[in-house]
Amino acid sequence: MAQTQKHYESLEALLATQNNRIIRGGGYGRSPSTREGSKRNDWSGTASLEEAFSLARNGWKEGRANISNALNVAHAVTKNSNAPNQSLDVAGAFPFIPAAVAGDPMNMWSPNPADIKTKPVIRLYHNICYSAVVPAKNITNIGGAMLGVVDQLESSGFRTEIVAYWGSYEALITVLLKEASEPLNLDALAFPMAHPAMLRRINFFIRESEPTLPWEGVGMGYPKTIEPEFVLPNSVVIPANIGGNEGATVEGAVAYIQRLVKASPWGDAITFE
């Protein structure tokens, strides 16, 4: 069965769904997105649906600490021979995340303007759909690894576009998180890329309240990779992560994302060591 897609052109557009009314799943307090309790809170990473929306809007402060290790790991093992001429300064075109995390004022890359015009664009479809048995920390590790690899790609002379997706066998939710012309904003992307509540609160809520999406029951269906018809050519697709074993450690998560990038049409232009 083909997936039915609901697409949002920005995170802000997706978050505007908070005003929707729950029409499936048993109503507030009983639906998967609104259930509370210590086990549910640990599993989703938030105490409530409202907290998830607040973190998505206002930033996930703990996210910097949680994913900084993945950023450092990615930079430590990644290089690209075609990097543009650039230097670190207090102001520039895009941030050098490890330096920013460390509080170093010299944390902005200032590339040669001629290099900016010739930077190729890599489009990445980031999966945020996981089986219920996947621990919350694994989701954070994989999201942090993705941000780390994206940061390294941008530092190495590429521009990146990020589309996050949640897919089941019948439904597909996609959201454009970063355009190629935008710098990598760690504070804005930490929650939607690496927090389990993006799936287990907010995306569940959209499934419960969006009438155009088919309803597969309170189990929300089985994770499925985005279908090719919804993917633009020459893109990197992170597949639906059923078991999440790749995210058990930060190092494993970084290696997993790097393998997928190397297997993409861009693989020959990128060197990971």
The first and second tokens of residue 75, run together, are 């930079």
Report pLDDT for 178. Answer: 98
The better pLDDT of the pair 181, 97 is held by 181
Helix and strand numbers (H, E) in the chain are 11, 10
Report pLDDT for 81. Answer: 43
User: Measuring CA to CA, how many Å separate 273 from each of 73, 194, 237, 259?
Assistant: 11, 24, 21, 11
Summarised one tens digit per residue, pLDDT across range 28-51 is: 888 999 999 988 999 999 999 999
Report pLDDT for 95. Answer: 66
Is the pLDDT confidence value at 2 over 90? no
* Alpha carbons 189 and 46: distance in angstroms, whole number: 17
Is the pLDDT confidence value at 228 over 70? yes
Q: Which of 177, 161, 149 is nearest to 72 (CA)?
A: 149
Is the pLDDT confidence value at 270 over 90? no
pTM, rounded to two decimals? 0.84
The first and second tokens of residue 93, run together, are 């075109």
The better pLDDT of the pair 112, 59 is held by 59
Q: Are strands 108-111 and 94-95 parallel, antiparallel or unpaired?
A: antiparallel
Is the pLDDT confidence value at 145 over 80? yes
Report pLDDT for 83. Answer: 46
The better pLDDT of the pair 70, 266 is held by 266
For the chain, the average pLDDT equals 86
Per cent of the chain over pLDDT 70 is 84
Give me the half-sphere count of Cα atoms (radius 13 Å) on the Cβ side of residue 38: 0
Report pLDDT for 241. Answer: 85
The better pLDDT of the pair 77, 222 is held by 222
Summarised one tens digit per residue, pLDDT across range 92-134 is: 655 666 556 656 676 676 655 555 555 689 999 999 999 999 9
Is the pLDDT confidence value at 171 over 80? yes
The first and second tokens of residue 2, run together, are 């083909």
Task: Classify burial at 81, counting beta carbons within 10 Å of its beta carbon; exposed 0-12, middle 13-18, buried 19 or more.
Answer: exposed
Summarised one tens digit per residue, pLDDT across range 184-215 is: 998 899 999 999 999 999 999 999 999 999 98
Report pLDDT for 73. Answer: 77
The better pLDDT of the pair 147, 81 is held by 147
Q: Which of 22, 6, 3 is nearest to 218 (CA)?
A: 22
Residues 6 or more apart whose Cβ sits within 8 Å of residue 260 = 236, 237, 238, 239
